Amino acid sequence: MQDLSLHILDIVENSIDAGAKNIGISICEDRETDLLSIEIADDGRGMSEAVLKKATDPFWTTRQTRRVGLGLSLLEQAARAAGGELSIKSQPGVGTTVKAWFQHGHIDRKPLGDIGSSLLTLIVANPGVEFTYVHQHGGSEVRLNTEEIRAQLGPVSIAAPEGIGLLRKRLEKVRVKTGF
């Protein structure tokens, strides 16, 4: 994957496949400590200890449609290439949290990419899922919460043209404030 937004897209799709109805995506950029962290937390079905031990093995997957599972292993590889790590915490029936750390200024750290387009795609394609996005950057914090957007839209679907328009406006504000 060319950038971190595509990794986020992939991991969140795993969350949705696991039945998650609430997904939190947090990005923290701290140039003072030279750290970039990405956390994705969901309330999906979670993983057993046995599955969790195999979760980053690229040649193992729980899916029946293919014999490899590259998402977590590729994110782990990207983190390690940039002086970071990946951690996964999961509990059956509770959910899963995936956290990746990167040395922010590392020459091999992938760019964040188009987070806004990834978020727009995820939200519009999954109107039954609540998303919370938090991005901390340069001492400021930007939040996007689909529950608040739905309240503002009233009976209009978040996937309707009016909903997509409002989402784009909100994501543009996020882009301006964070620089992604």
pTM: 0.90
Task: Quote the strand ranges of 61-109, DSSP E.
Answer: 85-91, 95-103
- All domains in the chain, ordered by first residue: 4-178 (3.30.565.10)
Question: In this predicted model, what pLDDT tens digit does every residue of 90-145 receive, in sequence order?
Answer: 999 999 999 999 999 999 999 999 999 999 999 999 999 999 999 998 888 889 99
Q: Which residues contact 152 (CB under 8 A, 6 or more apart)?
A: 166
DSSP-assigned beta bridge partners for residue 85? 101
Place of tokens 């057993």: 48
- For 64, phi then psi, to 5°, come to -95, -10
176 pLDDT exceeds 90?
A: no
Identify the band that residue 55 occupies on the pLDDT scale cut at 50, 70 and 90. confident
Measured on CA atoms in the order 150, 151, 157, 160, is the torsion positive or negative?
A: negative
State which amino acid sits at residue 51: V
pLDDT score for 48: 87
φ, ψ dihedrals at 53, nearest 5°: -65, -25
What value does the mean pLDDT take over residues 73-92? 95
Q: Above 50 in pLDDT, residue 69?
A: no
What 3-state class would DSSP assign to 29?
strand
121 sits in which H/E element: helix 115-125
Average pLDDT, the chain: 89
C-alpha to C-alpha distance for 106 and 94, rounded to whole angstroms: 34
In this prediction, residue 155 carries a pLDDT of 95
